[in-house]
Structure 1
Amino acid sequence: MTTLRFFAAARAAVGQDETTTSAATLDDALRAVAASDTDRWAALQERCSYLVDGVTTRDRSTPLAGVDTVDVMPPFAGG
């Protein structure tokens, strides 16, 4: 299982801090998230960066086999 952790605007759109998934790819995992604000979540995914076990990516076809944690990082002001 992979833990998805949501930060800032992603946390607000999803409505929770984290969830777990057994999805094969990052894209599959993101599509399966049961967000509280589905429109906001759908739009936000395109702007996020993802830390896959600490390595940054924007490639949503990234496989999640053997991955412990994915941090969902929306754009931050000033950073």
Structure 2
Amino acid sequence: MTSAGGSVLVRYFAAASEAAGRDEETLTVEDATVGAVRAVLLERYGDAMSRVLASGSFLVDGVATRDDARPVRERIDVLPPFAGG
């Protein structure tokens, strides 16, 4: 079930944490999908986050994804690209 205007816990790792200036935060995201969260993060953190998201991915329900249509229920992790992975 997609969260409509609900709270989403966003956790940041490595370069994503540096770009956001924090390890986690709770955001209110309309029709919470990976794409909606991505848009909020780009608007909020600009170029620094854009560089991370250009080659990074998200972890939703234990699955790494770059699918903007994937629903986000309660939590999403922002993962930078990892060397050798």
Q: Which stretch shows the higher mean deviation, 67-76 or 24-33? A: 24-33
**Cα pair 1:53 1:68 within 8 Å, conserved:** no
Q: Which residue of 2 aligns with 1:30?
A: 38
1:63 positional shift:
1.8
For normalisation by structure 1, the TM-score amounts to 0.79
Q: Which residue of 2 aligns with 1:69?
A: 75
**1:37-56, Cα deviation, whole Å (9 max, x unpaired):** x2121122121121102122
C-alpha distance in 1 between matches for 2:38 and 2:23: 14
RMSD, aligned α-carbons: 1.6
> Which residue, out of 17, 35, 38, partners 2:23?
17
The one-letter amino acid of 2:18's match is A
**Cα pair 1:4 1:69 within 8 Å, conserved:** yes
> Which residue, out of 7, 13, 16, partners 1:7?
13
Query: What percentage of aligned pairs have identical amino acids?
Result: 40
C-alpha distance in 2 between matches for 1:59 and 1:9: 21
State yes or no: 1:60 paired with 2:68: yes
Q: Which runs of 5+ in 2 are unaligned?
A: 1-6
Higher fraction of helix: 2
C-alpha distance in 2 between matches for 1:46 and 1:6: 15
SS for the counterpart of 1:22 is strand
C-alpha distance in 2 between matches for 1:19 and 1:27: 17
**Divergent runs of 4+, >4 A:** none
